[in-house]
Amino acid sequence: MSTKVEMIEKYTAQLQELGIAVDDKVLEMTTDACGPANYSADGQLVAATDPDEVDRVYTGFVADELAETDKEKGLAVITEVLEQMSGINHKYRAVVYYLLAKKYGK
């Protein structure tokens, strides 16, 4: 099993691949928000083409952690982030959460 530090290194590399400057504090927060999913091969990734998965991202992070109550708006922001990551096959959940947090001003 990877350590939190190793996972953050992977997430940092993916953000750098996207040309994003990393805010370590926000990345640590989004990594913590993923919880045990960080250590699950399936859970650490977001299935961007699965509507149920996108809804889980809204419910589990955008609504709960970012306090977005307008589901339509939240889903639109998720779509923007997933489009931003369209060139990446394996979208790490913590990276998706990071980009969402930044869009919400964190």
Asked: is 4-103 a CATH 3.20.20.70 domain? The reply is no
Q: CA-CA distance, 45 to 60, in Å (whole number)?
A: 14
Instruction: Report in angstroms the alpha-carbon separations of 17 from 14, 21, 23, 50, 96.
Output: 5, 10, 15, 24, 13
Is pTM, for the whole model, over 0.75?
A: yes
pLDDT digits (tens, 9 = 90+) for 8-67: 999 999 999 999 999 999 999 999 999 999 989 899 999 999 999 999 999 999 999 999
How many Cβ atoms are within 10 Å of 12's Cβ, its own excluded? Answer: 17
Question: Contact, 43 vs 93, CB < 8 A?
Answer: yes
**33, exposed or middle or buried, with CB in 10 Å at 0-12, 13-18, 19+?**
buried
